[in-house]
C-alpha cells in the first residue's frame, strides 16, 4: 500500500513567494497526496494565487480554508484537523521542495518505524546559498545543547501524533511553535529519524533581522517553561540558553552586524575552540 501524505501550507501575506512553493508541490514525482492550505487572514493576493493554482491543477486534491488571522499554530492545527491521510508534510509558503521530496520520504518511511522524519536542506535568498547539514536527535538534551536541525518544511510527522500533540497557540511562543512541539514529542519518547538528503530549499529573507530578538525571547520562553516542569536540570538549561545566544550571534555575524554578533557571542559564555575562532572573526569584522 502506498504511503499517503497531507501537505499543509499555512499562508499569511505570502503573495511574493507562494506561487513558487505551489509549483514545487505540483512538480512532485510522487502522486499520493492532498494539499491543505489555510489562508490565515491574508490581505494581499495570496487567496487569488491559491485559487488560480487550484484551477490549473484539477487533479490535485486541494482544500482551502479561509479564516481571520489566528497565528501560525492555529493555522497548522486547523489544517491537521482537516487531514485525511496518515502522514503530514509541512511546507511554509516561501520554501520550495525538490521534485523527488515525497518519493524519497515515502521510500524511507517503508523502511523505518519512525514517528517523525526530517531531512537536510539548502538555503537560498540570503548572502549566499548554503547546505544545512543535520544530525541525529535522540533526546531533549540533544535538541537543547546541540542545536535544532529540524526545519518545518523538511519535516514529516504522523497525523495521529499531531492530533494528540497539537501546535501551541500561545502568543508568548509565537515563531517557536515547532521547537515547542519537538520538545514535547521527545519528552513522550517518540522516534525521530533523520535523512541526510537535501530535499527542501529554505528561503532566507532579511525580514528575520527585525524579529530575531523577539524570536529569541519566545524560544527562551519555551525552554524556561519546560525547565520549570523539571524536564531537564539547571546545567542543561544554562547550556541551552548559551546555545541560543550563540545562534543569535551567528545570525548577526552572517549578516555583517559584527557589534551585535560580539555582544551575543559574549553572552554565550564558554566557547569551544571552533567557536572562539568564529568569535575572533567577528572581532576582526570578517564574515564567515
Q: Is 207 a residue whose pLDDT tops 60?
A: no
User: Which own/partner pairs from 57-64 qualify as long-range (CB within 8 Å, at least 24 positions apart)?
Assistant: 57/26, 60/25, 60/26, 60/33, 60/34, 60/35, 61/33, 61/34, 61/35, 62/34, 62/35, 62/37, 63/34, 63/35, 63/36, 63/37, 64/37, 64/39
Q: Which residue has the higher pLDDT, 132 or 81?
A: 81
Q: Which residue has the higher pLDDT, 205 or 34?
A: 34
Average pLDDT (154-179) is 97
Average pLDDT (138-153) is 95
pLDDT band of residue 285 (cuts 50, 70, 90) is low
pLDDT band of residue 114 (cuts 50, 70, 90) is very high
- Cell triple for residue 38? 489555510
Average pLDDT (14-31) is 97
Q: Is 100 a residue whose pLDDT tops 60?
A: yes
Residues 13 and 42: their CA atoms lie apart, in Å, by: 5
Indicate the average pLDDT of the chain.
91
Q: Is 62 a residue whose pLDDT tops 70?
A: yes
Residue with cell 499569511: 12
Residue with cell 543535520: 134
For residue 128, what pLDDT is reported? 65
pLDDT band of residue 253 (cuts 50, 70, 90) is confident
Average pLDDT (164-188) is 97
pLDDT band of residue 94 (cuts 50, 70, 90) is very high
Q: Is 257 a residue whose pLDDT tops 90?
A: no
Average pLDDT (98-115) is 92
For residue 33, what pLDDT is reported? 98
For residue 66, what pLDDT is reported? 96
Amino acid at each position: 500500500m502506498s504511503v499517503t501524505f497531507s501537505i499543509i501550507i499555512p499562508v499569511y501575506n505570502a503573495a511574493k513567494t507562494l506561487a513558487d512553493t505551489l509549483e514545487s508541490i505540483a512538480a512532485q514525482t510522487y502522486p499520493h497526496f492532498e494539499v491543505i492550505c489555510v489562508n490565515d487572514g491574508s490581505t494581499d493576493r495570496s487567496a487569488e494565487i491559491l485559487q488560480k493554482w487550484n484551477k490549473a491543477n484539477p487533479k490535485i486534491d486541494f482544500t482551502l480554508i479561509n479564516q481571520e488571522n489566528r497565528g501560525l499554530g492555529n493555522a497548522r492545527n486547523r489544517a491537521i484537523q482537516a487531514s485525511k491521510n496518515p502522514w503530514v508534510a509541512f511546507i511554509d509558503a516561501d520554501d520550495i521542495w525538490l521534485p523527488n521530496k515525497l518519493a524519497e520520504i515515502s521510500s524511507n518511511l517503508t523502511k523505518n518505524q519512525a514517528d517523525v522524519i526530517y531531512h537536510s536542506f539548502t538555503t537560498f535568498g540570503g548572502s549566499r546559498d548554503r547546505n544545512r547539514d543535520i544530525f541525529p536527535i535522540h533526546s531533549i538534551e540533544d535538541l537543547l545543547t546541540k542545536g535544532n536541525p529540524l526545519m518545518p518544511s523538511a519535516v514529516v510527522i504522523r497525523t495521529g501524533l499531531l492530533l494528540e500533540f497539537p501546535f501551541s497557540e500561545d502568543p508568548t511562543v509565537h515563531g517557536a511553535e515547532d521547537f515547542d512541539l519537538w520538545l514535547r514529542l521527545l519528552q513522550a519518547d517518540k522516534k525521530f529519524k533523520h535523512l541526510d538528503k537535501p530535499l527542501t530549499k529554505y528561503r532566507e529573507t532579511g525580514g528575520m533581522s527585525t524579529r530575531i530578538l523577539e524570536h529569541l525571547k519566545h524560544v527562551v520562553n519555551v525552554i524556561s517553561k519546560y525547565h520549570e516542569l523539571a524536564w531537564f536540570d539547571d546545567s542543561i538549561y544554562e547550556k541551552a540558553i548559551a546555545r541560543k545566544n550563540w545562534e543569535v550571534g551567528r545570525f548577526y555575524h552572517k549578516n555583517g552586524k559584527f557589534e551585535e554578533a560580539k555582544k551575543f557571542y559574549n553572552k554565550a559564555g564558554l566557547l569551544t575552540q571552533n567557536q572562539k575562532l568564529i568569535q575572533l572573526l567577528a572581532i576582526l569584522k570578517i564574515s564567515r
